[in-house]
């Protein structure tokens, strides 16, 4: 009669051999091709390159050196990422997973799932963004007219099919600094203590419900829409808002604004209404 010890040894050997051959024969190339095809299904202009994909324990995948590009322009680089499925959910016929990744010295932690085991079905994905440095994002580095820096935090939710559906979120940026390559109204550098934005994206239209900002020189809000294009710098702007100068900035404005537009008695109280048209790369500001 086979002893319990022998059964345990056989089982341990079988599991070790299975793990060894799974790691040795892991279909890394096929997975890289699959990821690229899934991203192309969302947007044909997008492509993903992954330096390495390996299996992990507990069961999951670890990706390193992930680069996402659009029309040949690098948009984001993820140092590492891990995806872990909910095995109990798969046994019940639905898909549940968690993911963690590092981006621009910050982190993204998320979870998602659907009522079936098919990635092509309706998904709900939630992602928490923490301490992402704006100036280290490739999409931000590609902007030529101005530069951005600050710490990005917030939450993003996607509901629908991977290539469609509605994406919404609430984001905050602390210590946001905007440096213009060409000064506007005599201003080339703005610092915002806190910036908050609520938005939604449907297809290629980003709807900015409210963006509020407050800093030592300026406070105000912006709303409107952005027609997203590739590269990002060519996205079309249709925004309007109001800005109120703080005392330090208020003292400068009469020297840079036409006198007909400056009313010292109302400017500090009601602010300046403005529109932004054109593209991210070449915005067109106007007063109204």
Helix (H, G, I), strand (E, B) or coil at 34: helix
pLDDT of residue 253: 60
Residue 171, token pair as written in the block: 């984001």
Which residue in this structure is represented by tokens 């709303």? Answer: 223
In residues, how long is the chain?
Answer: 288
Mode of pairing for the β-strands spanning 73-85 and 60-70: antiparallel
How many Å apart are CA 126 and CA 83, to the nearest integer?
Answer: 14
216-227 burial string, b = 16+ CB within 10 Å, else e? Answer: ebbbbbbbbebe
Please name the residues in contact with 110: beta carbons below 8 A apart, sequence gap of 6 or more.
98, 99, 100, 125, 126, 127, 128
Domain boundaries, the chain: 1-85, 136-287
Ranges of residues in the chain with a pLDDT under 70 are 1-27, 38-43, 87-93, 115-121, 162-163, 184-186, 250-269, 288
Q: Under a CB-based contact definition with an 8 Å cutoff, are residues 35 and 48 in contact? A: yes
How many Å apart are CA 212 and CA 208, to the nearest integer?
Answer: 11
How many Å apart are CA 64 and CA 99, to the nearest integer?
Answer: 13
Helix (H, G, I), strand (E, B) or coil at 117: coil
How many Å apart are CA 239 and CA 284, to the nearest integer?
Answer: 10
Please name the residues in contact with 272: beta carbons below 8 A apart, sequence gap of 6 or more.
242, 243, 244, 245, 261, 287
Residue 230, token pair as written in the block: 């590739």
Q: Under a CB-based contact definition with an 8 Å cutoff, are residues 68 and 101 in contact? A: no
Q: φ, ψ for residue 91 (rounded to 5)?
A: -65, -25
pTM flag (> 0.85):
no
How many Å apart are CA 18 and CA 31, to the nearest integer?
Answer: 19
pLDDT of residue 188: 80
Task: Give, as one character, the DSSP assignment of residue 284.
Answer: E
Bridge partner list, 54: 62
Based on the number of CB atoms within 10 Å of its own CB, is 20 exposed (0-12), middle (13-18) or buried (19 or more)? exposed
How many Å apart are CA 285 and CA 276, to the nearest integer?
Answer: 5
């Amino acid at each position: 009669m086979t002893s319990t010890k022998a059964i345990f040894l056989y089982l341990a050997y079988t599991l070790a051999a299975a793990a060894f051959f799974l790691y040795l024969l892991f279909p890394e190339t096929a997975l890289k091709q699959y990821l690229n095809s899934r991203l192309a299904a969302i947007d044909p202009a997008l492509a993903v390159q992954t330096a390495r994909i390996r299996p992990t324990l507990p069961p999951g995948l670890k990706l390193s050196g992930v680069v996402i590009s659009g029309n040949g322009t690098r948009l984001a680089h993820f140092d590492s990422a891990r995806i872990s499925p909910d095995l109990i959910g798969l046994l019940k016929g639905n898909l549940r997973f968690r993911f963690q990744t590092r981006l621009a010295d910050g982190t993204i932690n998320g979870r998602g799932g659907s009522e079936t085991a098919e990635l092509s079905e309706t998904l709900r994905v939630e992602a928490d963004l923490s301490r992402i440095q704006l100036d280290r994002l490739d999409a931000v580095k590609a902007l030529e007219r101005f530069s951005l820096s600050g710490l990005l935090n917030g939450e993003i939710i996607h509901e629908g099919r991977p290539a469609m559906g509605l994406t919404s979120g609430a984001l905050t940026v602390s210590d946001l600094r905007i440096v213009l390559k060409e000064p506007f109204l005599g201003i080339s550098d703005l610092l915002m203590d806190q910036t908050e934005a609520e938005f939604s994206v449907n297809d290629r239209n980003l709807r900015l419900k409210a963006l509020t900002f407050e800093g030592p020189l300026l406070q105000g809000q912006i709303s409107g829409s952005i027609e997203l294009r590739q590269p990002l710098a060519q996205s079309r702007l249709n925004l309007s808002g109001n800005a109120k100068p703080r005392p330090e900035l208020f003292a400068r404005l009469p020297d840079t604004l036409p006198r007909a537009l400056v009313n010292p008695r109302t400017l500090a109280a009601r602010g300046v209404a403005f529109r932004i048209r054109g593209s991210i790369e070449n915005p067109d500001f106007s007063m109204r």
